[in-house]
Chain A
Amino acid sequence: MSDVYLDHAATTPVDEKVLKAMQPYFGDIFGNPSSVHTFGQRADAALQKARRSMAGTFGCQPKEVIFTSCGSESDNLALRGAALAARDQGKGNHILISGVEHHAVTHTAQQLERLFGFDLECIPVDRYGGVNPDSVAERIRPDTILVSIIHANNEIGTLNPISEISTLCRERDVLIHTDAVQGAAHFPLKMDDLKVDMLSIGAHKFYGPKGVGALYVREGTPLIPVQTGGSQEFGKRAATENLPLIVGMAKALQMVHEEADQRLKNTQKLRDRVISNVLGAIPDSTLTGHPERRLPNHASFAFQGLDGNLLVSALDVEGFACSSGSACKTGNPEPSSVLLSMGFDRGWAKGSLRVTVGKDTHQKDVDVFLDVLPVVVKRLRELT
């Protein structure tokens, strides 16, 4: 029922230029990049071009870019691949993740703990959902093999000081992975600045197609393939490459880097408008996540005593698509675990709302939204 899309952290529409870039690879250029013949050679050329383009934007080597099927798979490959490689080499057993990771990281880490006996430890976060580098340093032990810290949290938008954390991990000779699925959609990330060993992205968060992602793996990082078979992706991920989507992702990522300044300016202006209006107009509301160190398009709130799920439904009926940390299509009312780990009590943690604008969001739509939201919140508070 919504017309106005304010949920760009969930996914984004495919940009027209991206769609155009992909089209030939659904048509004439359909070959398998591994084939000997010219059909295969043409496909392989496009594949390598996409890889070089991604490497160029990241400032890394092409062979450090591993194509996957999504952000989740990138996280899975990073954690499972690095942990099993450490096991294979008889290294330590200790894995550190933060308390605000995406399920793609937490569930993978928990499975490694349960089925493979790794020793998983969770790093607590501050009240903004941020990870303090000191908290990481304190917990690193001689048997620590991997640290995984989210670059920017999807629910509350808080950015983490990844380069500080990666520096202290390198000093201690511990692998560092970051889930940059959200951050890579806004910032022209450079691997030299971040200094991580592995970094996950997913194309559909930045106007690329769904079903494709990538894992940056620094040269020399021990990694065991999770999906075995052919020797594609330098033996790190078997499967005939999904060429059209890979080409689309490369194009979309290139656009993030080219248009970053412009997009940042637009979205940040709207984000700040949303934040100041909502906090001003709605009683018993609070911003969740860091007030400044946050994703440029991301405004997230908690409203005391409100059911976030119902709020998102009511906003949808009024024509606005948003999301809630606690909401999913099954209507599960569990409070957001991220908010709980930041110290919110249940009465607040159930009533979260996330508003994420996009590069093409109009200010007039945001203004109508800002008129409607207080009315809907008031109605819900009166009725439930």
Chain B
Amino acid sequence: MGSPRVVVGMSGGVDSSVTAALLKEQGYQVIGMTLRLWSEEHLGLDNRCCTTDAVGDARSIAGQLQIPHYTVDAKQIFHETVVSAFIEGYQKGITPNPCLTCNRHIRWGFMYQRARALGADYMATGHYARLRENRNGKVQLLKGVDPDKDQSYVLYMLSQDDLRHTLLPLGDYTKYEVRKMAEEFQLPAAHRPDSQDLCFLGGDDYRDFLLRNQPTVHHPGPILDTEGEKLGEHQGLAFFTIGQRKGLGISPPRPHYVLGKDPERNALLVGTRDELGQSSLQARDVHWVSGSAPEAPLKAEIKIRYTAPAREGVVTPQPDQKAKVQFPEPLRDITPGQAAVFYQGEICLGGGIIQGTSP
């Protein structure tokens, strides 16, 4: 007793295993927890985050580290929040990012509650991001030191209360170092490859997933160019994303790109490479990590996708948790439904969901 109690979300993978091992070494009273998430079990597909194997792996790694481990079922709430929002988003013509919903509602919601129920002072995950308390007692969210692995993008929505009860020990290390540590701790997951696709797709294509789970996404409509001329037909707006070139099925003299979607007319808007690009975006549900929006517009670096490099721009806070972001040059892949996350240097200031764009 005495030492702080921390619940570590364990997936059986290398990052969360090293997280647990590090915290144990630092003297915390560590408890492992694995969530069972939803997947299309009837197809024999496992949720990648928690295949039966992965749950077993997590349990055996916890055994090896001599920490207790519990599996908690989160299938229903995961489906009700994350999966349905994913499907609905595509139906509405946006490109949702389910990892954001998951972190908000599942990890720092459902799981955090359960960690508290186990009497934990903290919850820890294997995300590559750092936390630092500044002089005013606020917790800052910082990029992870490994520029290739930084995951602060998917954590921008955490509140001060969340952050105060969160530990992210991997933010101080590179992935290479984490793999080395996994070897030193003799964790079996040391060599397991990282996976990028969405956990509940079970390796399947998202389009097939949508067709199975929401057949109405198959909804043919016109492909229009910027003049309003019909160039062809698409099979459903959900199957396209901004900036996409392949798979349009039109063969005009020059290649065409997806510029946008018009859900009202069920039209896919395409144009040439020169026409692609927007220099400002509107964000909704904007969250500021400090807990309050800045008073004036501010210069920042903005990431418009998890994998996009940060670009300089000006963020203007607006009422009703909105913000406008202005870039000096048009960007080609601003995608409604993804997050725009604001940085100043290594500090993540906050972010919001991209709602719309303008030239």
Contacts and interface: CB of A to CB of B under 8 A. Distances in A.
Interface of A: 1, 309-310, 313-314, 316-318, 329-333, 379-380, 383-384
Contact of B59 (A317, A329, A332): A329
Given A313-B70, A331-B70, A380 B117 contact: yes
B316 to A, nearest CB: 39
B73 A331 contact: yes
Contacts of B68: 1, 316-317
Contact of B117 (A310, A331, A332, A333): A310
Given A313-B72, A331-B34, A331-B70, 17 more contacts: A1-B31, A1-B68, A310-B72, A310-B114, A313-B70, A314-B117, A317-B68, A329-B59, A330-B52, A332-B73, A333-B73, A380-B117, A383-B113, A383-B114, A383-B117, A384-B113, A384-B117
13 contacts: A1-B31, A309-B72, A310-B70, A310-B117, A316-B68, A317-B31, A318-B119, A331-B71, A332-B36, A332-B73, A379-B116, A379-B117, A380-B117
Count chain A CB atoms within 10 A of each CB in B5, B31, B34, B71 and give the residue with the most: B71
B119 A384 contact: no
Nearest to A328: B71
B55 interface: yes
A369 to B, nearest CB: 16
B36 A330 contact: yes
B298 interface: no
A1 B30 CA distance: 10
B250 interface: no
Contacts of B73: 309, 331-333
A-B CB proximity, top 4 nearest: A331-B71, A313-B70, A1-B68, A333-B73
Count chain A CB atoms within 10 A of each CB in B5, B73, B113 and give the residue with the most: B73
A47 B34 CA distance: 46
B118 interface: yes
A316 B68 CA distance: 9
Contacts of A310: 70, 72, 114, 117-118
Contacts of A317: 5, 31, 68, 118-119
Given A309-B72, A383-B113, A384-B113, A331 B36 contact: yes
A316 B34 CA distance: 16
A380 B72 CA distance: 14
A318 B68 CA distance: 11
Nearest to B34: A331
A49 to B, nearest CB: 39
Interface residues of B, number: 18
Contacts of A331: 34, 36, 70-73
A1 B63 CA distance: 11
A97 B119 CA distance: 43
A333 B31 CA distance: 20
B62 to A, nearest CB: 11
Nearest to B115: A383
Contacts of A330: 36, 52, 55, 71
A123 to B, nearest CB: 31
Given A317-B31, A383-B113, A384-B113, A329 B71 contact: yes
A342 B71 CA distance: 27
B72 A383 contact: no
Nearest to A311: B117
A76 B111 CA distance: 40
A384 B59 CA distance: 24
B68 to A, nearest CB: 4
Given A329-B59, A332-B73, A313 B118 contact: yes
Count chain A CB atoms within 10 A of each CB in B59, B70, B116 and give the residue with the most: B70
Contacts of B119: 314, 317-318, 379
A379 B116 CA distance: 9
A31 B117 CA distance: 54
Contacts of B72: 309-310, 313, 331
Nearest to A319: B1
B216 to A, nearest CB: 31
A327 to B, nearest CB: 10
A310 to B, nearest CB: 6
Contacts of A316: 68, 70
Contacts of B116: 379, 383
A242 B73 CA distance: 39
A330 B46 CA distance: 14
A1 B52 CA distance: 24
A311 to B, nearest CB: 9
A322 B5 CA distance: 21
A384 B72 CA distance: 13
B70 to A, nearest CB: 4
A219 to B, nearest CB: 45
A257 B116 CA distance: 46
Interface in B278-324: none
Contacts of A383: 113-114, 116-117
B65 to A, nearest CB: 13
Given A309-B72, A331-B72, A314 B36 contact: no
A276 to B, nearest CB: 26
Interface string B221-242: 0000000000000000000000
Interface in B113-165: 113-114, 116-119
A329 to B, nearest CB: 6
A152 to B, nearest CB: 29
A88 B68 CA distance: 51
A334 to B, nearest CB: 9
Nearest to B1: A319
A318 B55 CA distance: 23
A316 B55 CA distance: 19
A267 to B, nearest CB: 27
